[in-house]
Structure 1
Amino acid sequence: MTPSISAVARIASLASDAVINSASVPPSVSPFAPALSSAAVHHIPFGADPGAALLQQHAHNTSNGAKSGLVSFTTVSHRRVLHPLIPHLAELSATATVLHVAIPAGDDLSDVLVLRASVPFCIYSRTAQHAHDHALLASRLARTEAKAVLHIFYVGTDSDELSELTDDQVESYLSAPPLSANGHANGHAHGHANGDVKSDGKDDSAQLLRAFHAASATAVSLLRRPLRALTTRGAEEPHTVLVTLAPLPTTLDLDGVSFVDVNLLKPLAPANLAHAIPSSAARVLVCEHVRRWNVKWTPLFLEVGSRESGYRVAPSPPEQTPPTD
């Protein structure tokens, strides 16, 4: 079992009233199964309808007065598991649900990204440490906002390194009151964490961003590292900006190129994205770990292109899609 799988399964168990785990393609065994504990765990066969199982579990939790109401779903990415979720996502989107989807070696994001449009939050993890931290963040968001969160991460390798919180620290984070803009607890679920999103309260995306920032700010004191919607690295005054949704090596350094790594895929933070692309940039490229898509452009490419219409925006060529291993 890889560190990523172990960490996500452990956090799902600690945070949830119930976990639904999908079996893998026979004869493979689900990598999550050995690590799932503490919560009520229900294993469903490969190809069974996970959306129906999740909705049934939420109905059961409601009738039994469950503690948090959070139901987590764990699975390895496969279209026969993920695509049956689509008809149920409209109903699941307003429930405390986390969909933890692991991308195996040799696979990409093509199957899981079809779920993005129908969930309020979509968080992407490139590393084992991200998988641990974002599993925490996703669980808190789902619990405090009563909304579905899609968490995409990679199975990874046995040699991946990460630093984990203790069980008590996990519970402390999940139950802590949110932080206000000044860094103090404010006692309500929709606190504004950092003041960089302006809204009159009517914009759903802005409200979701505030919730993300509040949950991120609450985690900093325990994790001792920030959880950002976007991270930037590379040249300070680049001629080219590469917006990535792919596990590119963090050591990759190209002359005149800066990297904008998307961690919060939905809602995409427009102010953060605009700030991350400096005036020196003449070209913006979008690199996504997607080898196949049923329409010409992916949603991320369209969003970046619509926001950065003053630049030449282009997708990366398919043959440059990075491998998962």
Structure 2
Amino acid sequence: MKLASLKNGKRDGALIVVSRDLTRAVAADDIAPTLQAAIENWQQVVPALQARSDALNAGTAAGAFAFDQTKVASPLPRAYQWLDGSAYLSHVELVRKARGADMPKSFLDDPLMYQGSSDYFTGPHDPVLVESEDWGVDLEAELAIITDDVPMLTKQDDAKRHIKLLMLVNDISLRHIIPAELNKGFGFLNGKGVTAFSPVAVTPDELGDAWNGSKVSLPLTVNINGEKLGAPLAGEDVYFEFPKLISHAAKTRTLGAGTVIGSGTISNHDRTRGFCCISEKRALEVVEHGEAKTSFFRFGDRVRVEMFDTSGASIFGAIDNEIRPYAS
């Protein structure tokens, strides 16, 4: 089942069901007005949503219409909680190596995670607005999950059942702002300004054999201005799988239904697969050549993030954001 939030002038949009091939959609706001309402009442609404999805895919859904990815918000246009991990230590290792820093041994046992801004997510085809190119505008292409209510102290083995939906993420990072913030010893704030998600969120069954309950074994493709930056394999070199990230986040708190947890930048030790962020490419250039050649985003640049199944079909739709100057 694939779900999306149609823009309707309201903060949370209207829930729609989208066909498996992403060509058709049908309203579902009579079942649950928004995706947040659906996730809060998941067991009650899933049968009706699934029935509507089945009818849509069979071509028998009343009121079906053409699905336009540019007309939807992120699946959750806003969320009560957005937590981003760093599951791929090959990313952390390379970026730290470029600045002459070793990776602490604690990183092998205790996942990195920050709590980001979630009161407004950028739409999958909306512009990314920043004041200045000098901020060092970068992307981080990731996978994310949406959970139902997760009790505090949920163990890793029990965490799988709380994963209800998956999405793609473009987590914008402002590389020239982040270092000064981290030096304060209090984490990110201004360095993480904008986050966009894929047009649709999908139930795990939509991934077929590529989903094992913990990770997705497919490449994630990133293009900048039509040129491929990379297609790292999401199922390889993932040190902390999603159940571990859930368990880590729930160590001292309950996670409310609609909590979004990101994987962090997908990254492989095999650098020939390319990259899911510019900073990692720059880091490799520093390690190999002594200086970075690749620049961060300029105004007018476009980034496209997409995942395809083994037959070449897009699973989540595409995140396609243009970088534009913010005008108050």
TM-score with structure 2 length normalisation? 0.31
Give the helix-richer structure, 1 or 2.
1
Give the strand-richer structure, 1 or 2.
2
TM-score with structure 1 length normalisation? 0.32
Which has the bigger relative contact order, CA under 8 A and spacing at least 6? Answer: 2
